Amino acid sequence: MPSTPDPERTRPPAPAGEGPRPRRVRVERGGPVLVEGPVEITLDDGTTVRSDRFTVAVCTCRRSRTYPWCDTSHRPRERAAPASGRPGEPHAPDGPRAPAGGHEPEDRTDR
C-alpha cells in the first residue's frame, strides 16, 4: 500500500549533529502572525490555501480582504486634515477614493 511522504523527511538534511530546524512563528501585538514559509493553511470550510513566500503574514483580526493573508486592515485609519489646514474650519466630506494601488476611479467626469 503506498504511503504519503512525511514532509519532515522530504526536507533537505539538517547540518550534522542537528535535528530538523523548527518552523519559526512570530506574533505581532495588534497585528498578524508571521510564519516562515512555505505554508499551507486549512480554512474553516476545509479548503486549503498555500503560500510559497519565505515569510507569510497570517491575519488574526479577520478584517483582511485577502483572508487568511494579512493586508494590514488591522491598522487604524487616520482622517485626512481639513483642506484649508485651519483647525475648527469645516471641510467637505470625503469623496470617492482611489482603489488600492493608487489608481484613480475610471468614472471621472472632470476631464
What is the tens place of the pLDDT at every residue in 45-95? Answer: 999 999 999 999 999 998 999 999 999 998 877 766 666 555 554 444 554
What is the tens place of the pLDDT at every residue in 19-53? Answer: 778 889 999 888 899 999 999 999 999 999 999 99
DSSP letter for 30, please: T
Distance between CA atoms of 22 and 17, rounded to whole angstroms? Answer: 15
Asked if residues 98 and 104 have their Cβ atoms less than 8 Å apart, the reply is yes
pTM, entire model? 0.51
21: its cell numbers? 530546524
Chain Cα centroid distance, residue 36:
14
